[in-house]
């Protein structure tokens, strides 16, 4: 849940405390950048020594850094304190989502079971991105950004405790110490190609995330953006549920390429449909391939990564996802202003066709179990 709650609660608290969205955006950018840089380092440490010590360190450090962030704005400390706190939050962000995905690899040995597990994972993540901001929105409507940020802090702290106390970690299989390359999983050419396509996929998602508010604002109905984003998430949940239950014969590499090509179609349709009802329906359809595409890429990471780099491979995947979303959001704002509010969707559609072609280079075959 914290994943869906942090962004909105932080940006509104920053906006209230600092007076503008520009500084709020730069603080959030630093937070996500610190998280993206630190994630592979955390992954490498976990692959070497196991998850317990890193989890315990982040379990203490992250809530403290978050508390420092809240206090630094509450008591008007210098901006340096605010930036220091978010850098610490990013560096010591608990690797719960990455560990969960690595644990699916340990827990399930065949592709069908793993695909179902990763589909459930994608659905839950999508629900977090829908329910988390909605809860924050309700709190903001009835209270204020200070209440929202304190509740987010409480949920972050509870989530770490819940994960540490869960039985999930009993499935962890620690690899024996072995010689490792400095680049870790980045020595696998197939993984690099997959990460590039994932970056493209999340860039398209970022283009869409900002494209909907830009379109709704241009239509003089800003609230319509919330509906479009929600419909897109609901579509993604449906798509993930269907994909998880299917028994597909086609290799997962081909499924992934097809899903990327299918995602391009509704993105392009956004560029030509103007009727609000039609636009909303296409937003719902656009979500259908998102969860399955993320489930397929997670399954491929679990297959392609050598066992000694299992966790680090998922953290690199997370880094490319975060960077792609950031790049897409930044590009969408510029495109919407310079070209028009439909431009982010058309750009996303063209990007998806290019990524689908690139994904065809992922030849079905060898895997590291």
Tell me the per-residue pLDDT of 249-284, one tens digit each, with 9 for 90 and over. 788 899 999 999 999 999 999 999 988 899 999 999
Residues 49 and 198 occupy one common structural domain? no
- Is residue 165 a part of any domain in this protein? yes
Per the listing, tokens 């689908």 go with 356
What is the count of structural domains for the chain? 2
Minimal CA–CA distance to 172: which of 94, 97, 96, 104? 104
Residues 161 and 276 occupy one common structural domain? no
Query: What Å distances lie between residue 239 and 80, 137, 244, 294, CA to CA?
Result: 44, 26, 9, 11
Which pLDDT score, from 0 to 100, does residue 25 have?
Answer: 67
* Rounded Cα–Cα distance for residues 264 and 203 (Å): 13
Minimal CA–CA distance to 95: which of 153, 50, 134? 50
Residues 244 and 287 occupy one common structural domain? yes
pTM for this entry? 0.75
Residues 189 and 310 occupy one common structural domain? yes
The set of long-range contacts for 17-24, using a CB threshold of 8 Å and a minimum separation of 24, is 17/73, 17/74, 17/76, 17/145, 18/73, 23/79
- Is residue 298 a part of any domain in this protein? yes
Residues 190 and 102 occupy one common structural domain? no
Residues 195 and 158 occupy one common structural domain? no
- Is residue 176 a part of any domain in this protein? no
At 322, which CATH number? 1.20.1250.20
Q: Which residues touch 172 (CB under 8 Å, ≥6 apart)?
A: 50, 51, 103, 106
In 1-32, which positions are buried (b, 16+ CB within 10 angstroms) versus exposed (e)? Answer: bbebbbbbbbbbbbbbbbeeeeebbebbebbb
Which pLDDT score, from 0 to 100, does residue 186 have?
Answer: 67
Residues 226 and 293 occupy one common structural domain? yes
- Is residue 60 a part of any domain in this protein? yes
CB 114 within 8 A of CB 299: yes
Q: Is 240 exposed, middle or buried (0-12, 13-18, 19+ CB in 10 A)?
A: buried
Which pLDDT score, from 0 to 100, does residue 369 have?
Answer: 47
Indicate the residue among 105, 140, 169 that finishes a domain: 169
For 77, list phi and psi in degrees, rounded to 5. Answer: -70, 165
Residues 143 and 215 occupy one common structural domain? no
Indicate the residue among 123, 143, 169 that finishes a domain: 169
Minimal CA–CA distance to 147: which of 157, 158, 135? 135
CB 306 within 8 A of CB 136: no
- Is residue 50 a part of any domain in this protein? yes
In 159-193, which positions are buried (b, 16+ CB within 10 angstroms) versus exposed (e)? Answer: bbeebbeeebbeebeeeeeeebeeebbbebebbeb
| Residue 272, CA atoms < 13 Å, CB-side half-sphere | 5
The parent domain of residue 70 ranges over 1-113+131-169
Residues 41 and 136 occupy one common structural domain? yes
* Rounded Cα–Cα distance for residues 257 and 357 (Å): 7
Residues 344 and 273 occupy one common structural domain? yes
Indicate the residue among 169, 193, 215 that finishes a domain: 169
Which pLDDT score, from 0 to 100, does residue 185 have?
Answer: 62
- Is residue 120 a part of any domain in this protein? no
- Is residue 118 a part of any domain in this protein? no
Residues 86 and 165 occupy one common structural domain? yes
Residues 316 and 200 occupy one common structural domain? yes
Ranges of the chain whose pLDDT falls below 50: 369
């Amino acid at each position: 849940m914290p994943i869906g709650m942090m962004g909105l609660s932080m940006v509104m608290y920053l906006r209230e405390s600092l007076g503008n969205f520009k500084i709020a955006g730069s603080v959030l950018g630093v937070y996500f950048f610190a998280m993206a840089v630190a994630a592979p380092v955390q992954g490498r440490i976990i692959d070497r020594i196991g998850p317990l010590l890193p989890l315990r360190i982040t379990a203490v450090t992250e809530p403290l850094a978050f508390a420092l962030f809240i206090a630094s704005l509450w008591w008007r400390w210098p901006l340096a304190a605010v930036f220091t706190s978010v850098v610490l939050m990013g560096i010591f962000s608990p690797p719960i989502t990455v560990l969960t995905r690595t644990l699916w690899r340990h827990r399930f040995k065949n592709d069908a079971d793993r695909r179902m597990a990763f589909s459930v994972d994608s659905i839950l993540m999508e629900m977090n991105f829908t329910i988390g901001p909605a809860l924050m929105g309700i709190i903001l409507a009835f209270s204020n950004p200070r209440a929202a940020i304190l509740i987010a802090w409480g949920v972050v702290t509870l989530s770490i405790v819940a994960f540490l106390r869960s039985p999930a970690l009993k499935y962890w299989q620690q690899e024996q110490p072995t010689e490792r390359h400095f680049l870790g999983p980045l020595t696998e050419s197939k993984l690099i190609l997959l990460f590039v396509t994932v970056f493209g996929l999340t860039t398209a998602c970022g283009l869409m995330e900002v494209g909907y508010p830009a379109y709704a604002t241009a239509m003089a109905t800003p609230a319509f953006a919330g509906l479009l984003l929600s419909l897109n998430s609901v579509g993604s949940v449906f798509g993930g549920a269907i994909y998880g239950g299917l028994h597909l014969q086609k290799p997962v590499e081909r499924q992934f390429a097809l899903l990327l090509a299918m995602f391009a179609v509704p993105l392009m349709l956004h560029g030509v449909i103007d009727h609000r009802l039609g636009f909303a329906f296409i937003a719902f359809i656009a979500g259908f391939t998102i969860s399955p595409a993320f489930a397929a890429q997670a399954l491929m990471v679990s297959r392609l990564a050598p066992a000694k780099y299992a966790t680090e491979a998922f953290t690199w995947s997370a880094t490319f996802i975060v960077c792609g979303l950031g790049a897409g959001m930044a590009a969408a704002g510029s495109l919407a202003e310079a070209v028009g509010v439909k431009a982010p969707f058309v750009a996303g559609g063209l990007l998806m066709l290019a990524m689908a072609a690139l994904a065809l280079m992922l030849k079905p075959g060898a895997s590291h179990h």
